[in-house]
Structures are given as C-alpha cells and as structure tokens.
Structure 1
C-alpha cells in the first residue's frame, strides 16, 4: 500500500541532471528494475577514489530546487507566499498532570494531552516578525549572536525564523547538555540574549547563569511567571509573549536591520560530541540552503499533504534541516517529544493517546536508537503471541521480505498483519528517514516490512546535514545511498587501518565530503583537530575529512564500514573496530545498548551492557536468581550467562576471536542524554563512559 502511494506521488524533479547510469550488476540487488532505480552516481574522474557525484556540477545543481532563494529568510517567505492559510506548526495543550505509582514504588509523572492546535503559515510569519522586532527593541543587533537552549517545540522554530529574518546568528545548544558544557558554549559564543523554556530556566539554567559572562536578557517560552529573585540581578528576564508584544508597539514597527546575505553566518551549532568540550560549527545561509536543496531532491512527493512529527532535538542538524525542508514545501509540523510520541511512551497516561496516534504523521525522522526500540518492542510482543499467531506473523514477514526484494508489495499482508503494527506510529507513515548513526540491517529490514520505506542518511553537523541519502526504492541494507546534488565524495587511503582505493571488490578509504553544504569551520579554530579537518581545494571547493571509513559500490552508493577513531590496536597487534563489534552485538535481544572498550596494553576487549530488563529478568528466573534490578545486574552468574549469549551472537556474525568481549559489566542504569553517557543522537560518549566505569575497567582487566 505505502509503496504504491510513493509510486504515484514520486516527483521526477531534477532527474534530468543525473549522471548517466552506471549499469553494473551486483548480487545485492535482486531485480534489475530495482537496481536501475538505485543507480545514482559515478566517479567523475574515472578513478576509484572519486570524486563521486550524482550530477555534473555540484554548485549549479543546488539552486534548481529553490530557484531564486539564497537565504533561510527568503526560503520561509517563499513558503508563506505559497501556503499562506495552510497549517504550519501545531502543539498539544497539557490538560492535566498526574503522578502514577509503579509496582516498584517509583512515581512517574503522566500527562493527559488535548488535540493539536494549529497556526497557519501567515500566523507564524506574523509571530516571526513580532519576535524579531521585539529582540531588536531589547538591544539585539544584526550579525550579533543570540543563543537558544530549549527543548524541541514550536517556539524554537519561530525563534529560529526570527533570527534568520533579522540576521541574528543563532547559537544552538542541546537541551540535554551538561551544566559545564552549557556554560562553556554560552561564554564562548558571547551572546547577550538567550532563548530558553520556563522548565530549563527554573532547573538547569538556575545553576548555570551565575557563571555566564556578558548575558543581559533571558527570554523564556511557556506559561506562567518566573521569580526573578532567583537569578543574577544583571539579567532581565522576559516571557516570549512579552517580547512579541514589545515588537508590535508602534515605536518598534520600523526598526533598522540588515537583511541576511548568502555569505552571512546563520547558525553556530554546538555538537555534543563524543569527547571533550562541545564544538560550535559555523553554518552560513548558503551552506544550509545547499544542504536542504540536496535533501529535498531525494525525498519523493514532499508537499502540503504531508504531516511531519517533530520530536528530535532541533539543536541537532538532522531535525533542523528536516523541519525547514518540510516547511519549504508546505508540510505541517506537529510537535512532540520522545516521552509522548506513542501511546506507550513514558509520560502518556495509560489509556490515553500519544502524539502519533492523534497526529497521524506521514513523515518521520528518527535516529537508530529509536528505531531499535520500536523493533525490540514489537518483537517482544510477537514472542508473547500464541504459536499459531507467531507462525502467521513470521510467514507474512518472510513473504514480504521476498516481495520487496523483487520490487513488489503485499497489500493483503499489510492489511491483515502489519496494519496493527503500523498503528504504533499513527498508521499513516509513508516514509521514514534515519540518520545520526548506523542503522542495523535487521532493524532496517523490520521497519521497511512493518511500516514503510526507509531512507538512510549519512552526514555530519559539519556538512549541514545529510551528504547522502539512500533511495527509498533501494531494498538493500547497510548502505547510505549516493551523494546528494549538493555533495561529492572522495575516498582517501588509510593504510594503517587496511583500507585503500585499490581494495577489491570495491574501493575503500576515509570519506571526504565536498560541496557548498560544507560548513565554514569551528567557532574556535583550536577545536578543529578534534574530529576532523576542513580544507579548500585548488578549485575553491570546501571539503571536510570525516574520520569515517567508507566503501563505494559500483552504482555509486556508499557503505560505512569503519571509524578511524574507533580503531584500537591490541597488545598482540590485532586492530579492533569498536563500532563494528557493537553493531554486531546490539541486535541481541538481551542487549538494549552496548559499549565495547579496549586497552592497547591488553590482549582482549571488554564490554558494558545495558540489558533488556524483561529478557534479563527471565534469564535470572531460569537461574533461580531473585532480587531488585540493581542486584540482578550485579550478579556474577548473570554476567557469565550474558557472556555466553554474546559469544553465540558474535559467532553468528562471524566476528574474529579477538573481537569477542571476554568480560562484561551489566549496567542497571539506562544510558540517556540526561546521564551524559550518550549524545542527543544517542551516540556513545566513550570518554564519559570510560570515566563512569573506570573501577569496573580496572576490575575486568585485573588491575
């Protein structure tokens, strides 16, 4: 059903610009028709190292998606002119809040939410201008940075659009950054104005603000007042509504400001990073326009009939560019959060409807961690079915996998079997986009079978979002697609890791991304060496060295195979790719999350595992082990039992002996951005994890 819809809606926009197809047969594509649809790029130099492109000229192709639009302000004005009265952004009011006591005695806050209330493009445009003028009246000036430290909500996007219109460079900070990181970012950027939420102002910022130098105004979103006695006297605190009202006063309607140009700084995006202080990536208007032009060209049928659910951090480039791309095509955005996304989410009261059930989105962007959770939750439900139900589900699943490989669909199975599963996300999702980290083949296949086609994106904050996105009609797994029209990709030999462009059957090497979407660098140049480097070639094109290792397939599609910084050399000389081992073991039902650690002075690797509570409890019961969750996780017998399972999964995935963890530590604590052990995209923070488990590392290595 979903595939047939995409076939009807798919636009041919931009296809005349693609390179001629490189028709090379590959065993990964089962059907020649599907393979032809997926042929997207080639090496324009004829060399195996590239550069690989999906068009003849990267820079000229970028402007065809948004013709005449060269700044983010013009992009939103363009949308307002076309979709004036259509719904633009919407949120749900909190009707009531209740405390719910769990069987273990813990108390969780549960919400009862109303329907979505929508603002039209015209109404949002009015608020954008009001806010921009109000900030100007408070002393904010063009080309002077303004910071935002706020959860994903409609006020975040309205603030961003106001900054783009009035040429206030927007400095973004993750709402889940630690206090030290927030203090560092605010002090480094030197902003005098800060946008936040009432919740963050009264919690995390109350501790941070006394240590921030130069800040004059704090503007918060949310209802109710704030007690100003709790904050430094040098600060003026205002509600967002008050600032908008200030902007609408007659004396402020004609303030002077400089309209942005393509070369003006639009965003300084602080990445949470996996090590050290956060880094501020500098993005010009032209960088983000280029990135979104490439992204939109790869999304079929994007238009006013689409509904997008916004719940990932807007301070993450994936969510920011996804939402702005949707707005540019007249989509409506319903705001949510990971805690209210589905009926089963942690803050939704039992029996009440989550955001997806009410919103019924057609488009969703997700990080692999969330997709993995959906996969494991559904499969745990399948395991609880009767033998007959489980057999029917598995038969339907295998049959649909076979049909998808041949470019067909299964309408009867969709209706009788998979429709119930798809209702977890509202039942109307036609496309999902995954980014931020590698998506496992099992989860990728599951989402395609039970929900809809999935596009896998690859990019970084430094490339202003995706540099590649796989075709939604590509039914292979493990690949991230071909370069977008804004990007080209080169491979650079990495002999130490054993990767060269002469490798067979496919060239491999470190991925270099070039194009107008490559950001201008880091806010503080000394940070540049931390995770990569920027450089400009003889033709004036900017490049970023990613530190990721890729393999280029004959049809110009990229596969991520390794990470330079995740490669550790053991005492005996073997190289271990930590990310490779983690990816192989993460789909084990016993494992919700895993971090592999290696010490170069040792000859074996160890692991830290966040176990699946249900699976581990059942394993404990089978071994006659009772106790609280923390006691179960600390039980030596269960560590050994989990190790046995890990070794079985490692064997199935054909890991080498030295790639199999020899010891394991079970963690009763779930790793979330709030714990500081993973980023907002749920990537592991290896340095923080190493410090957190340093005593266990010493124990497992016999120190």
Structure 2
C-alpha cells in the first residue's frame, strides 16, 4: 500500500489522499508553476518582483559587548538595540552583487563553496549568491566537531569557505588539514569587523568586499542553474558515524518549499523568528517558502532568543520580545526546555501560585477551543509567559525528532498557538509528512506532504507488518521528487539507503511507522533502537527516552540495553537545580556539589523512583523502566561527541564513553537478584 500526499479532507475533517480538493497556498503554487519558478534563484526573483519594498529580513543592532571569564570559561554578554530591515528587492540586489563578486574571484559554475556560519541574513545572501552562479553550497553545522568539519572540507575539495568573525579562529585551526582551501570570505562583526586573525597563507576576504566587487562589475554573464543541478551538499550530523554529505538538487528543495507553502497559513504581516541552523534543509526550505509567501524574517540566535538567554546583557530584552514573531520553528528539545523553564519558575513562586498555575493549565488542556474562560486565564496567568516569546505567536512548526504528547499539549495551552509537527530527513529534503493546523490531536506527524509517496515495508524480525491490525505497520519508505541523489562520494552507503522500485527512487528511513484510519502517520519505533531482552521482550530505547525526558529532572538521557540483557539501564545528565532538591531530601546541604550528588547511591535511588513514577504516568511497561542509573554532571555537547550537531544522542559513543559505569550497573543488578 502506497499513501500519496496532497489530497483533501475526509469526513472526519483530516487531510488524507484524495483526487481533488484545495487548501490555502495552492493558489500560490499555481502561480509559481505558471511563472516557471523551478529553481531557488528563480524563487527569489519571483518574490522580489512581487513583494518589492516589503520588509524581508531583519538584523538586530549590536550596541555593546562585554567579555568575562567565569569558572575558566569565556563568557560574552551583548547589549542589543532594535531590528533594522531590508526589503525583498534589496535582498535580491545583494544576492546578485554577491554572485557577481564570486565570478570576479574566479568561482565558476560547477564549483563548490562551503558555508560555516551562524544563521543570519548574510548566510542566506551568500548561499543564494552561490546558487545564482550554479555553485553548489556545502553546508556545515557550526557545532560540528573540528574533525568532522575537516573531513567535510577535505571530501568536497572546496577552495573557498564562507565563515563569520566569531567562527574564524576555530576555522583557521582546522584549515591546516584542508590544503585545498585557499580563501575564506569573512562575514564581519558589527563592532569588530573581520578582526585581526593571522592569515597563515589563507586569503581573507571581507563579505562586504565581495559585494563591492560584484556591484562594480558590469554585464557579468549569469550561470543560472537547471532544476536537476546540485544545489546543496548538506552534511548530516550523524548519530552513529561520521557526517555524510547529502546531495540535494533544486528540484529536491523546491519540493519541500511547496509542501510548506500549502501547510502554513501565513501571508504579508506575519513575522518569523529565525534561529535554527540554516545549515539544515528544514530551516533553509522554511525561509525560502516564507519569502515566497511575503513573510518578514527576523534573525536571532539560541543565545539571544529570550531575555534569559546566555548572551543577553542585564537590562536588554531578548530577540523575541523585540521581533514579536507570529510564527517560529523549533526542535522538540527547545520546547522541552521552555516547558521545564516555565515549570521551574512556577515552582519557585510558592505552593499557592504553583497550584493555581497547574489547575489553570489542566483546564486549558481539557478545553482545546478558545473560550471566554481561557481568555480570562490568559489575561490573569499565561500572558506573562507568552510575552517571553513576543506575545503574538500563533504558529509553531516542530520537526527533527518526536514530540511527546505531554509537551505538545502543555506548550499549546500555555502559548495559545497551533503546533504543527512534521516528519522528515535530510535525505528527503526534510519533507515527508506534516500535521494540519486544524488538527487538535497529538502523538502523530500528519499525512504525507504534497507529492510525497510513503509506504510501510514489513520488518519481520521486529514484529512489524503491513498486514497488522487494526493499523498497518512497518519500516517507513519514502519516494517522490524530494528524495536526494545520494551521499557525496559514498556509493556503498547510497546503495544501502536508496533503492529503485517500479520506476520510483525510495529512501529507507529506518523508522517504524503506522497509519491510522484518518491517513496520518505515527512514528512508533526505530529499527536501531529496538532491543530484545533475555526474557524475549522487545524494548524500544528511543520510546523510553522520549517519555522519560518530559520529567523536569532530566537534561539529557540515554537508555541502554545490550541484546540479551536482563534489563535496561540509563545514563543521565540531571538538571542541577532539580537534583539539588532531591539532595536536600536525602540529607545533603543546598550547596553540595553536583558531582557529589551524582555519585551518591541514595540520590540515585531517589532519582530512579522519580522516573519510575513518571514513567507509569507516561504509559511505560514493566520492562521499560531502567533497573539502574548513572548520573553524570557534565553536559553532553557535539564537541564531546556524545550528541550530534542537532543534539540527538549518539548511543554508541555514549556506551563507549561510559563503558565502565554501564558494566558496574549491570554487576550491581545481577548481585541484587
């Protein structure tokens, strides 16, 4: 059975496969098709011609920077001013100038240029300038480990890297391993320009100089790409091995853009706060779709997003409070942290206020539709919380990992916005399925997107079959125009992940899914996460983690079970404030170090009891509960290799890193039996 996206609503009111029907955004798609907008540069041309002087991109002014050292770590605080915006036409002019500047630097059609920079307007302008000359863009996460950056640059043999003032010192340390790189285009800092980094044989070119070179050029022949030309080599963060370069054509990315356009109810006057990595196709396709829809983009950073963000100077408001976004994108981890932050703040206000907040939240969660009562509760309780994200948020798009129903419900109730969960992969241009904005349910990720083909393939070993009742289940296989050409210079890995069947190119996701009667997909497991215990019971490590992580005590969690083990165990990074509360109940002083608390057996027992109680409420079964836990005070970062650049856990690396602790846990469990 193959399910195809792009249909109409059924009698239950949900979007499923159909032979007709139309939704908001289809008119725009028809206009794009009639204008023959089939590549990313043509999309920008269309938008600039149609939206002209409308504000397109905004950047916040940096007024002052303070640098300090705290606990041996360098810290930076910023005093920020207002946003200043440039129009659609101005963005296009800058892109054309940058493209012509590249030509003057002898960067030609068919070349590759790497991008290692934070999400900002210059990233977008640089990338679009490259694409305008049919130069493929190699995108790198800024938090990739140095060795992964070096491998990516070596593999693609780029001679030019576009980076930023902040990342230049780090890049210069990596470049001795990359002999092909000859020049770096540096996006200047507002206060310090390009700085004074030694060149070490590498030519440093300011971003503005490239714009000036292009502006002074006349009659430069454009090498506009064709739909099938390579646009992006996007390096995935890799949860098991080294990053792989996913090759995406203009057709691939345009397919994801079209899907977003018909899912999002946005138009002129809407404002989007951009802070996720543009180095990932989810954010890149989103911003391009928004530009087609005449939405204004305000650039931000996870470090300056809210007034409590790490780089915000005291007395300075966070970006969200200044930009007042009506729409945002997020990964589940961001929503989890927001909810945990709200919960902690409420607890600190005392028992009475915490009780009132909890009861009001439960009431709003029970009553999905807006009512007079919910508006009163907003005015009295929730508007102060909403204001942290600008107070005008009405749409949140979530992707990158499963979102727990609990977090989904709480965030929607507190912030009063729709949450559209999407499912995709870099190999599918981040486009497989997405929820409809009118769907009040949780725990699923919607029907297939426009032009997407999805089928479920039997996985007999794991017990998932397309003939299962009441719902068909199996490995999720995806086909359609959004499917990547494969991995750059990795033919073996490409052949393992992509197959040709019946004239369709399919990507094997490795995820296990099921369709319900309304045509929506639920991702219920992952092949690599399913482990068979000694007693024959299967446990899903990813499912256990996603349910337990909703507890405010957990910062990071990895559940582990070797095949044939008697039970699962866990390694966890606790939230310091929450663990200290448990420590007090165990007889420790409030100023006891986090390391000492993590090593105490009584504290570990209390943590396990907390997680067991929480897990029961989350519907976990008997064999899902960790029999032992190891607490570690050190946060997991991409630099440590324990999580990916997208902050997904790297299970094998964690097992290797904590091998002794895991063996010790299993020894204690065996002795206690």
Q: Tell me if both proteins adopt one fold, taking TM over 0.5 as the criterion.
A: yes
Per the alignment, residue 390 of structure 2 pairs with 426
Q: Within the alignment, does 1:602 sit opposite 2:565 as a pair?
A: yes
* CA distance in structure 1 between the aligned counterparts of 2:215 and 2:484, rounded to whole angstroms: 35
Per the alignment, residue 139 of structure 1 pairs with 106
* CA distance in structure 2 between the aligned counterparts of 1:526 and 1:265, rounded to whole angstroms: 17
Per the alignment, residue 188 of structure 2 pairs with 222
Pairing 1:469-508 to 2, within 5 Å after superposition: 469-508=434-473
Structure 1 residues 557 and 465, CA, compared in 2 at 3 Å: closer, same or farther? same
- Superposition CA RMSD, Å: 2.4
* CA distance in structure 1 between the aligned counterparts of 2:511 and 2:230, rounded to whole angstroms: 27
* CA distance in structure 1 between the aligned counterparts of 2:634 and 2:257, rounded to whole angstroms: 38
Q: Could you tell which deviates more after superposition, 629-638 or 150-159?
A: 629-638
Give the alignment partner of residue 606 of structure 2, picking from 631, 641, 646. 641
> Is there any run of 5+ residues in structure 1 with no aligned partner, and where?
1-16, 24-34, 45-52
1:358 positional shift: 0.7
Q: Within the alignment, does 1:326 sit opposite 2:294 as a pair?
A: no
* CA distance in structure 2 between the aligned counterparts of 1:348 and 1:228, rounded to whole angstroms: 26
Contact 2:6 2:448 in 1 (8 A): no
Structure 1 residues 407 and 63, CA, compared in 2 at 3 Å: closer, same or farther? same
Give the alignment partner of residue 233 of structure 2, picking from 252, 268, 276. 268
Structure 1 residues 65 and 496, CA, compared in 2 at 3 Å: closer, same or farther? farther
Structure with more relative contact order (C-alpha pairs < 8 Å, separation 6 or more): 1
Per the alignment, residue 449 of structure 1 pairs with 413
Per the alignment, residue 114 of structure 1 pairs with 81
Give the alignment partner of residue 210 of structure 2, picking from 243, 250, 262. 243
Structure 1 residues 55 and 562, CA, compared in 2 at 3 Å: closer, same or farther? farther
* CA distance in structure 1 between the aligned counterparts of 2:404 and 2:369, rounded to whole angstroms: 18
Give the structure-1-normalised TM-score. Answer: 0.88
Task: Output one character per residue of 1:335-386: Cα deviation in whole Å (capped at 9) or x when no partner.
Answer: 1111110011111123320100111111100000000011111122222334
Pairing 1:398-417 to 2, within 5 Å after superposition: 398-404=362-368, 410-417=374-381
* CA distance in structure 2 between the aligned counterparts of 1:180 and 1:107, rounded to whole angstroms: 22
Pairing 1:617-696 to 2, within 5 Å after superposition: 617-626=580-589, 627-696=592-661
Contact 2:112 2:137 in 1 (8 A): yes
Q: Secondary structure at the match of 2:451?
A: coil
Pairing 1:152-551 to 2, within 5 Å after superposition: 152-202=119-169, 204-223=170-189, 224-227=193-196, 229-231=198-200, 233=201, 235-249=202-216, 252-300=217-265, 302-404=266-368, 410-451=374-415, 452-526=417-491, 528=493, 533-538=497-502, 540-551=503-514
Contact 2:132 2:223 in 1 (8 A): no
1:641 positional shift: 1.4
* CA distance in structure 1 between the aligned counterparts of 2:69 and 2:210, rounded to whole angstroms: 40
1:486 positional shift: 2.5
* CA distance in structure 2 between the aligned counterparts of 1:527 and 1:241, rounded to whole angstroms: 42
Structure 1 residues 411 and 701, CA, compared in 2 at 3 Å: closer, same or farther? same
Contact 2:431 2:482 in 1 (8 A): no
* CA distance in structure 2 between the aligned counterparts of 1:106 and 1:190, rounded to whole angstroms: 34
Pairing 1:94-105 to 2, within 5 Å after superposition: 94-99=62-67
1:529 positional shift: 5.7
Q: Within the alignment, does 1:573 sit opposite 2:521 as a pair?
A: no
* CA distance in structure 2 between the aligned counterparts of 1:206 and 1:698, rounded to whole angstroms: 40
Structure 1 residues 62 and 579, CA, compared in 2 at 3 Å: closer, same or farther? farther
Give the structure-2-normalised TM-score. Answer: 0.92
Give the alignment partner of residue 57 of structure 2, picking from 89, 98, 104. 89
Equivalent residues, number = 653
* CA distance in structure 2 between the aligned counterparts of 1:228 and 1:667, rounded to whole angstroms: 37
Task: Output one character per residue of 1:433-483: Cα deviation in whole Å (capped at 9) or x when no partner.
Answer: 000000111110011111111000000001101211101211111010011
* CA distance in structure 1 between the aligned counterparts of 2:606 and 2:352, rounded to whole angstroms: 30
* CA distance in structure 1 between the aligned counterparts of 2:425 and 2:372, rounded to whole angstroms: 33
Task: Output one character per residue of 1:490-529: Cα deviation in whole Å (capped at 9) or x when no partner.
Answer: 1111111111112222111111111111111111234626
* CA distance in structure 1 between the aligned counterparts of 2:367 and 2:576, rounded to whole angstroms: 35
Task: Output one character per residue of 1:582-613: Cα deviation in whole Å (capped at 9) or x when no partner.
Answer: 01211122212211111125322211111111
Per the alignment, residue 592 of structure 1 pairs with 555
Task: Output one character per residue of 1:663-686: Cα deviation in whole Å (capped at 9) or x when no partner.
Answer: 111121222334432223321122
Per the alignment, residue 16 of structure 2 pairs with 41
Contact 1:493 1:510 in 2 (8 A): yes
Structure 1 residues 409 and 332, CA, compared in 2 at 3 Å: closer, same or farther? farther
Contact 1:634 1:666 in 2 (8 A): yes
Q: Secondary structure at the match of 1:128?
A: helix
Pairing 1:9-88 to 2, within 5 Å after superposition: 19=7, 21-23=9-11, 35-36=12-13, 39-42=14-17, 64=30, 66-67=32-33, 68-88=36-56
1:387 positional shift: 4.3
Task: Output one character per residue of 1:290-326: Cα deviation in whole Å (capped at 9) or x when no partner.
Answer: 11101110111x1121111111111112211111111
Structure 1 residues 416 and 406, CA, compared in 2 at 3 Å: closer, same or farther? closer
Contact 1:282 1:519 in 2 (8 A): yes
* CA distance in structure 1 between the aligned counterparts of 2:419 and 2:107, rounded to whole angstroms: 42
Q: Secondary structure at the match of 2:523?
A: strand
* CA distance in structure 2 between the aligned counterparts of 1:429 and 1:463, rounded to whole angstroms: 28
* CA distance in structure 1 between the aligned counterparts of 2:366 and 2:400, rounded to whole angstroms: 29
Q: Could you tell which deviates more after superposition, 634-643 or 192-201?
A: 634-643
Contact 1:447 1:453 in 2 (8 A): no
* CA distance in structure 2 between the aligned counterparts of 1:519 and 1:687, rounded to whole angstroms: 26
* CA distance in structure 2 between the aligned counterparts of 1:393 and 1:641, rounded to whole angstroms: 26
Contact 1:40 1:54 in 2 (8 A): no
Contact 2:165 2:186 in 1 (8 A): yes
Structure 1 residues 61 and 356, CA, compared in 2 at 3 Å: closer, same or farther? closer
Structure 1 residues 404 and 261, CA, compared in 2 at 3 Å: closer, same or farther? same
* CA distance in structure 2 between the aligned counterparts of 1:353 and 1:606, rounded to whole angstroms: 42
Per the alignment, residue 671 of structure 2 pairs with none
Q: Secondary structure at the match of 1:115?
A: strand
1:658 positional shift: 2.6
Structure 1 residues 64 and 211, CA, compared in 2 at 3 Å: closer, same or farther? same
Structure 1 residues 20 and 375, CA, compared in 2 at 3 Å: closer, same or farther? closer
Task: Output one character per residue of 1:186-239: Cα deviation in whole Å (capped at 9) or x when no partner.
Answer: 11111111101122111x2122100103122211101324546452x2x22111
Contact 1:62 1:293 in 2 (8 A): no
